[in-house]
Amino acid sequence: MRRITLIPGDGIGPEVTQSAREIVTASGADVSWEVAEAGMRAGEKAGTPLPQSVIDMIKSSKLALKGPTQTPFGDPYPVRVGDRVYPSVAIGLRKELGFYAAVRPIKNYPGVASRYKNVDFIIFRENSEDLYLGIERMVDADTAEAIKRITRGASERMARFAFEYLRKLGRKRLTVVHKANVLKLTDGLFLKVAQDVAGDYPDIELDNRVIDALCMELVIKPETYDGLLLQNLYGDIVSDLGAGLVGGLGVAPGANIGLECAMFEAVHGSAPDIAGKNLANPMAMILSAMMLLRYIEETAAATRIERAVETVLREKKYVTRDLGGNAGTREMTKAIVDKLK
Ligand code: NAD
């Protein structure tokens, strides 16, 4: 039995994580739960929004499902862990747990409004280096600069992760995204490493696109892509572009992967405007839990959940207001649980 650390989080977090937990339980997956409090509410109770005990729990279980956490201004933020300071709980967790990869499936689901059909690709974003190392300085009063650092080690780890992930799903094509025509050393290295690694994965075709051309193709024919491998900054931007192709951030699940631990979370925030009102759409959190189950190879349970979600979305009888229905979070959850029986 796998243990999952569940962080309910703030705002709509407790509602949508409860929904995901009920659905995972109904799927028959062999998992157990332990609840860890992090976020603004935890900050009020424990004096810090990210207690060391939460990090230790995830290090021990190696697996977390996280609800959104709110980042208010002022105390008790910024988030302190030991002598390290982070701008938010989400970033603190990612850094403390060494998540080097972000995975974002971009997929059309029935009944979720979108301009496109048949979109189904996965974004693999390298999450440990590039311009987001945060090495910036003022050269003089009128000039600022930032370091973009790309290493062979991090690029290779990321490329292998993407190939392995696609192989497990039986997918056939990975597109490495770059601007190596201009950034010949940094992007050139990222591209070259992916091409070298591709030799170990003859079952998956590797091609490449310059980032600007990719953006154009994504809005013209997104259904032609299978997997995208990107550095940190490009991955950040293309992730939101991708979410926009299939119905927005509200329905997008995501995963953060490290060498030891993995944490799954919806892309949306804590939605304080609708918190506690039974209005939150639980779909992104449910799909995040489904990704977690796939990750631990509870494949049958994951597939059953995805089918149940699709059926409820297609029937449109029990979907939340943002999906054009009248159901609350609890009613939509119950409808999905009923499909799993
Ligand atoms: P948000 O995603 O919380 O809300 C944006 C809009 O989308 C709101 O109108 C909200 O009601 C709606 N919405 C979001 N999720 C929804 C859902 N599941 N069902 C129905 N409607 C939904 O973004 P925001 O308002 O910019 O951020 C609110 C708080 O969340 C901030 O404190 C922010 O820091 C935090 N946040 C946390 C995370 C995280 O923990 N990973 C991510 C993003 C934002």
Ligand 1 centroid–CA 87 distance in Å is: 17
Question: What is the sign, positive or negative, of the torsion defined by CA atoms of 207, 157, 97, 296?
Answer: positive
Helix, strand, or coil here: 183?
coil
Ligand 1 centroid–CA 66 distance in Å is: 14
What is the chain's mean pLDDT, rounded?
A: 95
Ligand 1 centroid–CA 271 distance in Å is: 4
- The answer to pTM > 0.75 is yes
Given a cut of 90, whether residue 118 has pLDDT beyond it is: yes
Comparing C-alpha atoms, which of 233, 121, 99 is closest to residue 174?
Answer: 121
Ligand 1 pocket member 49 (CB < 6 A): no
Q: Whose CA is nearest to atom 38 of ligand 1?
A: 269
Q: pLDDT grade, residue 75 (50/70/90)? A: low
For every residue of 264-306, which 3-state class applies, written as one string? EEECCCCCHHHCCCCCCCCHHHHHHHHHHHHHCCCHHHHHHHH
Helix, strand, or coil here: 132?
helix
Element at 200 (helix H, strand E): none
pLDDT digits (tens, 9 = 90+) for 224-246: 999 999 999 999 999 999 999 99
Ligand 1 pocket member 15 (CB < 6 A): no
Catalogue the E-assigned strands of 218-281.
Answer: 227-230, 253-258, 262-266
pLDDT given at position 323: 93
pLDDT digits (tens, 9 = 90+) for 2-54: 999 999 999 999 999 999 999 999 999 999 999 999 999 888 888 889 999 99
Question: What is the sign, positive or negative, of the torsion defined by CA atoms of 102, 301, 283, 5?
Answer: negative
Ligand 1 centroid–CA 156 distance in Å is: 33
Atom index in ligand 1 nearest the CA of residue 266 equals 41
Atom index in ligand 1 nearest the CA of residue 274 equals 11
Q: Which tops the pLDDT comparison, 72 or 152? A: 152
Ligand 1 pocket member 274 (CB < 6 A): yes
pLDDT digits (tens, 9 = 90+) for 178-199: 999 999 999 999 999 999 999 9
Q: Whose CA is nearest to atom 13 of ligand 1?
A: 271
